[in-house]
């Protein structure tokens, strides 16, 4: 599973780089935990989620924006504040049910 911004689709990479930079500038100690995933990785995560072993929701394989390099999972010290800011900028943040997932909606 990729954790690099370079693994994201080049058309959207700069948006996620900006999100990361904002989190870092705000002192939120951001850590990227997932960017692009292969189908096999998505299947594994999805199965773990079905078994109750994955703490956050996982999209059905073939439907995840991670598989296309269009989403990033980012852990910070305040995902709620960052998520609300991301929404205000036009991004998509699911909220408390999946606080680490950011995409462009």
Question: Which CATH number is 39's domain given?
Answer: 3.30.1380.10
pLDDT at 105 (0 to 100): 80
pLDDT tier, 6 (very low <50, low <70, confident <90, very high otherwise):
very high
Domain count across the chain: 1
pLDDT at 1 (0 to 100): 82
pLDDT at 68 (0 to 100): 96
> Global pTM?
0.93
pLDDT at 90 (0 to 100): 96
Q: Which domain holds residue 28?
A: 5-103
pLDDT in tens, 59-83: 999 999 999 999 999 999 999 999 9
> Within 13 Å of residue 65, how many CA atoms lie on the same side as its CB?
14
**Helix, strand or coil for residue 87?**
helix
């Amino acid at each position: 599973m990729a954790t690099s911004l370079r693994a994201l689709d080049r058309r959207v990479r700069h948006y996620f780089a900006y999100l990361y930079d904002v989190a870092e500038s705000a002192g939120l100690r951001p850590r990227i935990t997932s960017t692009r995933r292969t189908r096999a990785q998505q299947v594994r995560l999805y199965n773990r989620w079905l078994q109750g072993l994955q703490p956050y929701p996982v999209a059905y394989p073939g439907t995840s924006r991670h598989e296309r390099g269009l989403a990033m999972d980012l852990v910070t010290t305040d995902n709620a504040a960052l998520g609300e800011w991301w929404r205000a900028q036009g991004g998509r943040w699911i909220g408390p049910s999946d606080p680490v997932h950011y995409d462009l909606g």
